[in-house]
Structure 1
Amino acid sequence: MLVNNNTQAMSTVQQIKRPDMDPANAAASALYSGALQTAQQNITVPVAQKELDKASDRIDEAFAKTRVQLQATAPNSDVPATSVAGSARSEFTDYMTKTPAERIRDQLLKERGLTLEQLNALPVEEQNAFAKAVSERLQQQQQQQVAAKTADPQAQTVKETLAAI
């Protein structure tokens, strides 16, 4: 038999006296209700939950900062855009306005460690060879795109459907 002399614990145990319960069930029920009440009083938020709350707060804070920065860089905003965001936006806009041939030219220049000015300073034969390399790479790229479309028409249809979604 368990004996608990703690008066606080004894006060939390509810005495359940039901005539339909035998003494053993009544005692077990009383102990269970007392243990349940004690457990409910002593429940604290686990450390992991606190850490998750902190992480969630940090995510919300980062989202808010990002939103403020995006609003500050809006084209019709009165607040001037930061130089980093402005330069990234202008680089992206410049890249998207280029033709595929210009993109390939820039890629080849970067691979060879040249600038456009240096390319223009080269002899005409080397400039022609460079232009031929750009042309060949552009044709390869186009052939790959055509091959990808004709290789599996069903897969292409699925891709187009997913892209439309």
Structure 2
Amino acid sequence: MLVNNNTQAMSTVQQIKRPDMDPANAAASALYSGALQAAQQSVTVPSAQKELDKASDRIDEAFAKTRVQLQTTASASDVPATGSTSGARAEFTDYMTKSPAERIRDQLLKERGLTLEELNAMPVEQQNAFAKEVSERLKQQQDQQVAAKSVNPQAQVLKETLAAI
């Protein structure tokens, strides 16, 4: 509020009318902000949510401990951790590079409990019989694949379409 000490100018006294300067608004604002703070303090996270957060923290801690234990076990063991993985990868790569006939041959050797060296040490007649059995199984396998495709070509197309999706 502007006040002029000149008595003649008393009629020109002007009061500033701003809402933020009004004492009633200031009091209401203070009450509102106080009530808002009290409401914010009284509104807390439900206890169930707090328990979930604690459980999640315990789970994270357990995983971290397990990871540390696994890392120390792997580093302390005599077998390197990557050795078994690369061995499995090499075995898989070897298997996938084999022809179907070689796969069938290996399967027959395993069924009979023989090794490739033992097969090569057999007489030629037994080796030929073994080779004939491998070729028969290979032919059976190919016939089964052809039969599966030719039995119902529409069903096969449908299967391939669904597999592509």
Q: Is 1:95 aligned to residue 95 of structure 2?
A: yes
Over 3 Å counting, the alpha-carbon distance change for 1:101 and 1:42 in structure 2 is closer
Q: Is 1:124 aligned to residue 103 of structure 2?
A: no
Please report how far the alpha carbon of residue 158 of structure 1 lies from its aligned counterpart in structure 2 after TM superposition. 1.7
Please report how far the alpha carbon of residue 45 of structure 1 lies from its aligned counterpart in structure 2 after TM superposition. 3.5
- Structure 2 unmatched ranges of 5 or more: 1-41, 71-79
Identity %: 63
Aligned residue for 2:135? 135
Q: Is 1:54 aligned to residue 50 of structure 2?
A: no
The DSSP-based 3-state class of the residue aligned with 2:114 is: coil
Give the partner amino acid of 1:103.
R
Over 3 Å counting, the alpha-carbon distance change for 1:54 and 1:141 in structure 2 is same
**Length-normalised TM-score, structure 2:** 0.54
Give the partner amino acid of 1:86.
S
- The root-mean-square deviation of aligned C-alpha atoms, in Å, is 3.3
| 1:43-82 equivalences in 2 (<5 Å) | 43-45=47-49, 50=55, 54=59, 58=63, 82=82
In 2, the alpha carbon distance for the partners of 1:88 and 1:41 equals: 50
CA deviation string 1:111-148 (max 9, x = no partner) = 00000000000111111110011011001101110110
The DSSP-based 3-state class of the residue aligned with 2:48 is: coil
In 2, the alpha carbon distance for the partners of 1:126 and 1:135 equals: 14
Please report how far the alpha carbon of residue 161 of structure 1 lies from its aligned counterpart in structure 2 after TM superposition. 1.7
In 2, the alpha carbon distance for the partners of 1:47 and 1:136 equals: 66
Please report how far the alpha carbon of residue 109 of structure 1 lies from its aligned counterpart in structure 2 after TM superposition. 0.4
Over 3 Å counting, the alpha-carbon distance change for 1:46 and 1:118 in structure 2 is farther
In 1, the alpha carbon distance for the partners of 2:140 and 2:107 equals: 14
In 2, the alpha carbon distance for the partners of 1:136 and 1:89 equals: 30
Bigger fraction of residues in helix: 2
In 2, the alpha carbon distance for the partners of 1:140 and 1:46 equals: 64
Give the partner amino acid of 1:108.
L
Q: Is 1:150 aligned to residue 150 of structure 2?
A: yes
155-164 or 142-151: which moved more? 155-164
| 1:5-16 equivalences in 2 (<5 Å) | none
In 2, the alpha carbon distance for the partners of 1:81 and 1:103 equals: 29
